Structure 1
Amino acid sequence: MDNKDLIGDFGLRIAICDDDKSDREKVNALLQEYLEGKSIKALVKILDHPDTLLEECEHYRPHIYILDIVMPMVTGIQAARELRWNQPDAQIIFATSESSYALESFDVNPINYLLKPIEKEKFFSTLDLAISRVESEGDKTVCIKIKGGIQTLRLDEILYIEYRNHVISYHMDRGEVISTPSLRIGFAEYLAENHPGKDFIRCHESIAVSIAAIDKLTKTDITLRGGEQIPVTKSRYSDVWDRYMDYRL
């Protein structure tokens, strides 16, 4: 897949977090040079504290994180553990002046551990690998029938699928709802034919939720990224819990 295809309309999101202003600026300058050289458009968020990182990225949800390790109150590795819980597929790059944390960093499966001052060639090759992994995740799509034709949807943009009055509606993460024409088959049969994998699970008789979109799960409700809540029936809670924990861990 061409990088331009993946990140058209600023689909790629990157976060830099470093408490040192000079280092933040150097990392961002290298990142911008890389993006410009590859003709890649991306939204880049620059943060100076891990607490701000965790708060803002809960909704911003970057594909790639570039993190310092030695920061006030919370280390970059501790922040990465929190990020891993909500975003198992995020690509994490550590950029630090301390070599002593390299072994500990393996706990969060970073894509690389770069020592400052960062070597441009190593940084660029690391970004190549990170983006290739983002691309492989972004390749997952589904084609659905809509009135007048067929539409392709990216699975990572679907929050949940709803069945009502013989119509299937896909609720997307940007608030859009995309619906099929009236169907002659039931919800279970539709899911078996169109979503046979583990990306979605029924949490209600008429709702199947994207496992990757779950931010919080209780015995009665699921909170999705973005804050929307949907119900979980008592009979389906155990299955949703098991699938959710398999995905997170």
Structure 2
Amino acid sequence: MLQIAVCDDNIEELSNMVQLIDLYRTSKNFNCQYAVFTNGFELVSVLEKGKRFDIYCLDIIMPGFTGIDVAKEIRGFDKTAPILFFTSSPEYALESYSVKAINYILKPISKEKLFFTFDELLEQIKAKKDENAIIVKSSEGIQKILISNLVFAEVIGRNVLYHMHSGKIIECTEAFSSVCDNLVKHGCFIRPHRSYLVNMQYVDTIQNHQITLQTLSFVPVAQGRAKEMKAQYLNYQMEGE
């Protein structure tokens, strides 16, 4: 089920967006949930508490904290989630590319505009999920793990444990070296300890002896590796800007 954030300071526009999303959900049998925010501060506050959305629909012209400002904050937490700008002014179109917005749509938002945009977006999300995933054989059978949902992996004895954002742990029996080879190809993983591999999308802080994750989990950092981990994380952040 996809999670959608809708942010607009204009209550009428916000209501219209919600009605159109509901209409799309019903007519397309689209499985989603949405949360509405009347300003960017509310949305960012929720993100800081660890909540994540699969799609962000943002108005640009909002007092105090514009949609562009909100998008920059989102990119600090999530570098890949689709951001859609819905706005009454075309003057910010160029700036929207700086935060890797997937689309920029002028108001008023009609059924045709929203349906066309969401059709395209969902096709892209499906293709991306198929690409950014690994297949593992666990005690429950063959499973697909989305990279975006994998917080960290660890090895205990001969078992590899995949810790998911939902809190679920998928346990497999496989060589951890092979796991590392498969995951590092995705460009968002670091190995702070021989028994752990961490998704940098979920890193909160890196200290000398441990990494704190946004899920409030802790992963040890091997002695002398903190400097290297901080450098790799900084490079990862810089590449996403």
TM (norm. structure 1) is 0.84
**Deviations 1:215-235, CA, capped at 9 Å, x for gaps:** 443444323232222222343
Q: Which residue of 1 aligns with 2:165?
A: 173
**In 2, Cα distance between equivalents of 1:220 and 1:79:** 33
Moved more, 150-159 or 203-212: 150-159
Matches within 5 A, 1:137-216: 137-139=128-130, 140-147=132-139, 149-181=141-173, 185=175, 187-192=176-181, 194-195=182-183, 197=185, 198-216=187-205
Which residue number in structure 1 is paired with residue 12 of structure 2? 22
CA RMSD in angstroms, aligned pairs only: 2.3
Q: Which residue of 1 aligns with 2:93?
A: 102
Task: State the one-letter code of the partner of 1:158.
Answer: L
Deviations 1:16-48 (A, max 9, x none): 001111110011111211222211110101111
Contact 2:5 2:34 in 1 (8 A): yes
* 2:151 alignment partner AA: L
Say which is worse superposed, 65-74 or 97-106, in terms of deviation: 97-106
Structure 2 gap ranges (5+): none
Bigger drift between 86-95 and 150-159 goes to 150-159
Question: Does structure 2 retain, via aligned residues, the 8 Å contact 1:65–1:92?
Answer: yes
Structure 1 gap segments, 5+ residues each: 1-9
Could you say if the C-alpha distance between residues 148 and 224 of structure 1 is closer, same or farther in structure 2, counting changes exceeding 3 Å?
A: closer
What's the counterpart of residue 50 of structure 1?
A: 40
- Cα deviation 1:124-175 (Å, max 9, x = unaligned): 2222222223223322332323347443322222111111222211111111
1:82 to 52, 73, 82: 73
**Counterparts of 2:77 and 2:192 in 1: how far apart (Å)?**
19
SS of residue in 2 equivalent to 1:171: strand
> Secondary structure of 1:174's match?
coil
From the superposition, tell whether residues 191 and 129 of structure 1 become closer, same or farther in structure 2 (CA, over 3 Å).
Answer: same
Give the corresponding residue for 2:115.
124
**Alpha-carbon distance in structure 2 between the residues aligned to 1:73 and 1:47:** 14
Letter aligned with residue 97 of structure 2: F
- Aligned-partner SS, 2:91: coil
- 2:98 partner SS: helix
Change in 2 beyond 3 A, CA 1:45/1:190: closer
SS of corresponding position for 2:154: strand
Equivalence for 1:7: none
What's the CA shift string for 1:177-197, capped at 9, x where partnerless?
22224x6x5x335523x4351
TM-score (norm: length of structure 2): 0.86
Code of the aligned partner of 2:183: H
Query: Do the aligned residues in 2 keep the contact of 1:211 with 1:243 (CA within 8 Å)?
Result: no
> 1:71-129: CA deviations, max 9, x gaps?
23211101101101211101111112223222222211212222221233222222222
Aligned length: 235
8 Å Cα contact 2:155/2:196 also seen in 1: yes
Matched residues in 2 for 1:196 and 1:74: separation?
36
In structure 2, relative to structure 1, the CA distance for the partners of 1:159 and 1:237 (3 Å cut) is same
Identical amino acids, percent of aligned pairs: 33
